């Protein structure tokens, strides 16, 4: 048995910055409301007039950086794990597009459909492949193009203002020292709440309605739906549980956390968790102010930035935690 260690990180966000005030061209909202409730100041939204970015293309751009920083080439990668809720196509997923875009050999590629906890699920899948010795280097990508599918109107404002586009990637490599790298991952789901945060169409249950949408302007099933306060209440509980579970599994205390990277769902959720675990500001990384909630991309973007800013050092205990649609949630405990 081996451990897996993150050897390279990369991120890519579209150039186009959309401030809270910019959103007023589509909906009745305010910078004050958005900042007060979510902490978000701006987000990146692909501008299709000036960019050909897609979920897969952004993922490939982030992956390229991660591979270079790992000191590897695309030919060293054995497997691709791609997490997204906004694939370029209904099928196939984004992993196979990355294989093509990076001109990789015919290695395996799998897509993960676990929304906000997609990157942690992806990390866990990659970790198992490396632990068993099957693969040596696995690419894990989280990427989202939310802007293409959000409802830009006052009706959709409570969801639309939150989400942003972007991608992050990590290379996981074989590590022989069992005290280093990913120590454990913890994954959970509770499908009875699936409809509290979901996009129902297009799907096999909804696609006829969706195609017929022009005749049914009140059908919102092709826009994301979120029961915000319900999700918020579950998020604060599940985030905490996942962190406690991860620490306990490794006989660690909350004081041992050098860096907590929570999924960037809402700054208020992150602040609640920080307070609960009594963590100083320097031990929690947030960037939702600049990018909004980028779902599967949020943890790898934040992890990349924290690492780029020198906030994660060798030997640090890094905790990743996420909660979102499904409901799904989880944590990863890493010794850097
Ligand atoms: O990443 C996946 C997990 N997601 C989350 O964890 C998100 C969890 N939920 C949340 O972060 C919060 O519920 C939101 C930020 C999404 C919404 O905040 P809220 O405090 O739950 O607001 P609300 O939807 O209950 O709306 C409160 C009021 C309503 O007005 P009335 O009915 O009280 O007059 C809304 O119409 O705020 C209004 N409102 C807005 N006003 C201006 C909703 N959205 C907006 C907006 N701008 N964008």
Asked if 319 and 302 count as a contact pair (C-beta separation under 8 A), the reply is: no
Give the integer Cα–Cα distance in Å for 281 and 104: 41
Give 123 Cα–ligand 1 centroid separation in angstroms.
Answer: 31
Residue 171 has phi, psi (to 5 degrees) of: -100, 125
Q: What is the best residue among 21, 36, 37 to mutate for testing ligand 1's pocket, by most ligand atoms within 8 Å of CB?
A: 37
> What's the distance, Cα to Cα, between the start and end of the chain in Å?
19
What is the mean predicted confidence (pLDDT) over 248-258?
A: 98
- Give the tokens for residue 139: 């690419």
What's the CA-to-centroid distance between 34 and ligand 1, angstroms? 9
Which tens digit of pLDDT belongs to each residue from 309-332? Answer: 999 999 999 999 999 999 999 999
The 328-335 sheet, strands edge to edge = 181-189, 328-335, 317-324, 259-262
> Which ligand 1 atom lies nearest to the CA of residue 23?
48
Which among 106, 94, 113 is positioned nearest to 167, based on CA atoms? 94
Q: Per-residue pLDDT tens for 64-104?
A: 999 999 999 999 999 999 999 999 999 999 999 999 999 99
CA–CA gap between residue 152 and residue 252 (Å, rounded) = 45
Report which protein residue has its CA nearest ligand 1's atom 40. Answer: 158
Residue 266 annotated as catalytic: no
- Going by C-beta distance under 8 Å and a sequence separation of 6 or more, which residues neighbour residue 67? 8, 10, 73, 74, 76, 77, 102, 139, 171
As a CATH number, domain 3-178 is 3.40.47.10
User: Which residues surround ligand 1 with Cβ inside 6 Å?
Assistant: 29-30, 33-34, 37-38, 116, 157-158, 161-162, 228-229, 231-232, 235, 265-266, 269, 293, 324
Which residue owns the Cα nearest ligand 1 atom 47? 29
Is residue 181 very low, low, confident or very high in pLDDT (cuts 50, 70, 90)? Answer: very high
Give the pLDDT confidence score for residue 210 in this predicted structure. 60
Closest by CA position to 168, among listed 199, 147, 202, 141:
141
Average of pLDDT values for 101-114? 98
- 18, 158, 302, best to mutate for ligand 1 pocket (most atoms within 8 Å of CB): 158
Two domains, one topology: 3-178 and 182-335: yes
Three-state DSSP state, 267: helix
The per-residue pLDDT for 216 is 73
The token duo for 257 is: 């956390």
Given the residues 186, 263, 286, 287, select the one marked as catalytic: 263
pLDDT of amino acid 208: 63
CA pair distance 281, 303, nearest whole angstrom: 16
Return the pLDDT at 212: 59
Catalytic position from the list 16, 114, 116, 286: 116
Average pLDDT of the chain, as a whole number: 96
C-alpha of 266 from chain center: 13
pLDDT at 205 exceeding the cut of 90: no
Predicted confidence at residue 5, as pLDDT, reads 98
Gap between the Cα atoms of 118 and 123, Å rounded: 8
Report the pLDDT averaged over residues 139-147. Answer: 98
| 3-state class (DSSP) for residue 169 | strand
Query: Would you call 178 a catalytic residue per the annotation?
Result: no
3-class state of residue 306 by DSSP: helix
Tell me the average pLDDT across 228-246: 97
Question: Whose CA is closest to atom 36 on ligand 1?
Answer: 158
Tokens of 39: 């902490």
Best probe residue, ligand 1, of 142, 228, 267, 329 (max atoms within 8 Å of C-beta): 228
Helix 55-69 with 94-101: angle, nearest 10 deg:
60
Name the residue at shortest CA distance from atom 41 of ligand 1: 29
pLDDT tens readout for residues 149-163: 999 999 999 999 999
Compute the average pLDDT of residues 121-136: 98
Which sequence spans correspond to the domains of the chain?
A: 3-178, 182-335
Is residue 302's pLDDT more than 80?
Answer: yes
Instruction: Please indicate whether residue 263 is annotated as part of the active site.
Output: yes
Which CATH class, in words, describes the domain spanning 182-335?
alpha beta
- Give CA separation, 54 vs 84, 116, 136, 287, in Å: 12, 18, 28, 22
């Amino acid at each position: 048995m081996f451990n897996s260690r993150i050897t390279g990180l990369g991120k890519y966000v579209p150039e186009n910055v959309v401030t809270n005030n910019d959103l007023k061209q589509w909906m009745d909202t305010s910078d004050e409301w958005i900042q007060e409730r979510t902490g978000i100041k701006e987000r990146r939204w692909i501008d299709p007039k000036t960019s050909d970015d897609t979920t897969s293309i952004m993922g490939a751009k982030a992956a390229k950086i991660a591979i270079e920083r790992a000191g590897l080439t695309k030919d060293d990668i054995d497997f691709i794990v791609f997490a997204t809720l906004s694939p370029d196509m209904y099928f196939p997923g984004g992993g196979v597009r990355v294989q093509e875009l990076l001109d990789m050999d015919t290695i395996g590629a799998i897509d993960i459909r676990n929304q906000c906890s997609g990157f942690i699920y992806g990390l866990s899948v990659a970790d198992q492949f490396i632990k068993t010795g099957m693969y040596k280097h696995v690419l894990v990508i989280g990427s989202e193009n939310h802007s293409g599918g959000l409802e830009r109107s006052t009706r959709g404002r409570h969801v639309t203002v939150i989400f942003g586009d972007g991608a992050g990637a990590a290379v996981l490599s074989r590590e022989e020292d069992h005290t280093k790298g990913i120590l454990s991952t913890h994954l959970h789901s509770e499908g009875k709440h699936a409809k509290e945060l979901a996009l129902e169409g297009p799907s096999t249950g909804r696609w006829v309605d969706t195609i017929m949408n022009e005749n049914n302007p009140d059908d919102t099933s092709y826009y994301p739906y979120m029961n915000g306060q319900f999700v918020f209440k579950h998020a604060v509980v599940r985030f905490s549980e996942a962190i406690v579970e991860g620490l306990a599994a490794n006989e660690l205390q909350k004081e041992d956390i050098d860096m907590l990277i929570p999924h960037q769902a809402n700054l208020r959720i992150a602040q609640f968790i920080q307070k609960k675990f009594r963590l100083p500001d320097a031990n929690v990384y947030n960037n939702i102010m600049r990018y909004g909630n980028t779902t599967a991309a949020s943890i790898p973007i934040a992890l990349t930035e924290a690492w780029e800013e020198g906030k994660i050092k060798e030997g640090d205990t890094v905790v990743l935690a996420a909660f979102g649609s499904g409901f799904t949630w989880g944590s990863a405990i890493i010794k850097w």
